[in-house]
Amino acid sequence: MRKGKRRTERNMLKNLTALVASKASCKNNQTVRFKPQPRNAINSEETYPILQTHQSRMATTHIVLLAVFLSAAAAAEQLRLPGDASFPAAQAERLIRSLNLLPKEAGPAGAGDAPSVAPGELLERRVRLPGLPQGVGDLGHHAGYYRLPNTHDARMFYFLFESRGKKEDPVVIWLTGGPGCSSELAVFYENGPFTIANNMTLVWNKFGWDTISNIIFVDQPTGTGFSYSSDDRDTRHDETGVSNDLYSFLQVFFKKHPEFVKNDFFITGESYAGHYIPAFASRVHQGNKANEGIHINLKGFAIGNGLTDPAIQYKAYTDYALEMNLIEKSDYERINKFIPPCEFAIKLCGTNGKASCMAAYMVCNSIFSSIMNLVGTKNYYDVRKECKGSLCYDFSNLDKFFDDKAVREAIGVGDIEFVSCSTTVYQAMLTDWMRNLEVGIPTLLEDGINVLIYAGEYDLICNWLGNSRWVHSMEWSGQKDFVSSHEESFVVDGTEAGVLKSHGSLNFLKVFSKHFYLILHFKEKNTLMVFLRIFFSN
């Protein structure tokens, strides 16, 4: 039986490899319409005509389905990355603008021209944002640009908010997901120091993470938020490029701020940061072991409702949807027929270059899109709510805030366009999407790096069930003890706020009635803040 299965897989791989080599079938394919979303989602408006044709023929063999998607992937990539020298100038200009191009100022200098920034140089200033209450003293707020070395012209934008508590509090870096969504979404709508009122004033957030840490919010990869380049070759396509950029930034950041070098350091983020964070943490850990530059006092990382191990997490979609009464049993059985080809497509990801990973993305997202076609307008970040707007929430105040000339002068971004969620970055990272980033975590656990995976119970797109499954499936020396350990109630103010499972350096927290993409939308006591205070203090 095993020999027959291996022979079948070899034949499938052979056929798919031949399909990739023979691009003639893709060159003139105009039937595939591929519309990537600016968040970690595929909504019901997306259409894949080839997929829809095959949905009505679920008995079609896996090889046919995969071949079609591989063909579609190659076609989509050709349509997205034109190499023709006659590519129209107007289209080229739009492409360049979408990459978040060179502003009039080279760094945070407010009005007037800024000095040029050499590669590897960091330019930073203290800022006081308009809209804050009168009488507020020096806040220890900073904004800056870092000119990335080993790039053609990439600049990384960041905010630093010093702790409202003690200078000795941990240094925390926050990475928003997407991929391609700005960390300013977190600054003003999630865990930053303040939020934006309807009259464009700033209101202090009593649950801001700057109450317990010195926190850095970074716009990355290049092209996200206020980060930019004048050269599209600086666009990142995988975690190696992303993690190297972030590690390079940290080296120069700690050189600029030696007062924080000895502080504990934690990496945090949400959504697609489930990919960013394990790779970034591994890069920091490797740098420390090799004595590269400044030693970074990495103590741990935390991922909220993240995408880390797609093979396991995509398989959990239908189970979660059925458990939450989002789909019927008949829908469950029908959609589950996409799981075997999804699993096989993920195995192929990376064996045939970018096309196989694009095929895996398209095959596997048919699971999620099929569910969304049934649930309609439900908010995939919180299934109790309706999705309103392209991102399911109203972020219009953020755009208004950054349109204010006084705000732009305060943070020194000149006339650069603010890109809340970059379609260009999203597209560039599609071939990274289906890669398993869990593989680097066991080494970190064995070396004593603390890991927290947390998830709210009503998030569909990176749901708690899929996250729990990959955490429990992860092979490391403490796996058996972690799996057999009992869940502990996590109590806040006398109320059970979640359940926690821990062993050694690994922690999994399921939080009740919470949604961690938009933490500030909750009026009740912030459960996550309570746990993070414990986690950051080890």
pLDDT digits (tens, 9 = 90+) for 270-280: 999 999 999 99
Q: Which residue has the tokens 């069930």?
A: 465
In a domain? residue 95: no
The C-alpha R_g of the chain, in whole angstroms, comes to 23
Question: Between these two residues, 119 and 472, which has the higher pLDDT value?
Answer: 472
Residue 302 in contact with residue 535, Cβ under 8 Å?
yes
Identify whether 88 is preceded by a cis peptide bond (ω within 30 of 0): no
Give CA angle at 489 (485, 492), nearest 5°.
145
Task: Clarify whether residues 423 and 524 are in a common domain.
Answer: yes
In a domain? residue 109: no
pLDDT digits (tens, 9 = 90+) for 405-435: 999 999 999 989 898 999 999 999 999 999 9
pLDDT digits (tens, 9 = 90+) for 491-514: 877 778 889 999 999 999 998 864
pLDDT digits (tens, 9 = 90+) for 48-103: 333 333 344 443 444 444 554 554 444 444 433 333 333 333 333 333 333 343 34
Task: Clarify whether residues 341 and 267 are in a common domain.
Answer: no
In a domain? residue 102: no
In a domain? residue 19: yes
Per the structure, the complete domain to which residue 31 belongs is given by 2-83+311-386
How far separated are the first and last CA of the chain, in Å rounded? 49
Task: Clarify whether residues 241 and 280 are in a common domain.
Answer: yes
Task: Clarify whether residues 464 and 351 are in a common domain.
Answer: no
Task: Clarify whether residues 399 and 458 are in a common domain.
Answer: yes
In a domain? residue 113: no
pLDDT at 116: 58
Q: Residue 259, Cα to own-chain centre: how many angstroms?
A: 29
- Kindly provide the b/e burial profile for residues 174-194, where b requires at least 16 CB atoms within 10 angstroms of the residue's own CB: bbbbbbbbbbbbbbbbbbbbb
In a domain? residue 101: no
**The two three-digit tokens of residue 290, written as one number:** 């090799």
Q: What is the DSSP string of 446-508?
A: HTT-EEEEEEETT-STT-HHHHHHHHHH--STTHHHHHHSPPEEEEETTEEEEEEEEETTEEE
pLDDT at 536: 67
Please identify, among 386, 420, 440, the residue that sits at the C-terminal boundary of a domain.
Answer: 386
Task: Clarify whether residues 379 and 414 are in a common domain.
Answer: no
Residue 438 in contact with residue 301, Cβ under 8 Å?
no
Task: Clarify whether residues 453 and 502 are in a common domain.
Answer: yes
Please identify, among 325, 357, 386, the residue that sits at the C-terminal boundary of a domain.
Answer: 386
Q: What are phi and psi of 28, to 5 degrees?
A: -110, 20
Determine whether 215 is exposed, middle or buried from the number of CB atoms within 10 Å of its CB (0-12, 13-18, 19+).
buried
Q: To which H or E segment does residue 319 belong? A: helix 317-323
CATH number for the domain spanning 444: value is: 3.40.50.1820
Q: What is the DSSP string of 15-76?
A: HHHHHHH-THHHHT---------SSS---TT---HHHHHHHT-TTS-HHHHHHHHHHHHHHH
Please identify, among 358, 386, 414, the residue that sits at the C-terminal boundary of a domain.
Answer: 386
Count up the domains in the chain and report the number. 2
pLDDT digits (tens, 9 = 90+) for 128-159: 998 887 656 678 999 999 999 988 899 999 99
In a domain? residue 430: yes
Confidence of residue 257 (pLDDT cuts 50, 70, 90): very high
Task: Clarify whether residues 410 and 503 are in a common domain.
Answer: yes
Inform me whether the pLDDT recorded for 214 exceeds 50: yes
Task: Clarify whether residues 276 and 423 are in a common domain.
Answer: yes
Considering the chain, what is the average pLDDT of its residues?
79
Task: Clarify whether residues 455 and 492 are in a common domain.
Answer: yes
Say what the pTM is. 0.80
In a domain? residue 93: no
Task: Clarify whether residues 17 and 133 are in a common domain.
Answer: no
**What is the pLDDT averaged over residues 37-41?**
38
Inform me whether the pLDDT recorded for 482 exceeds 50: yes
Task: Clarify whether residues 377 and 408 are in a common domain.
Answer: no
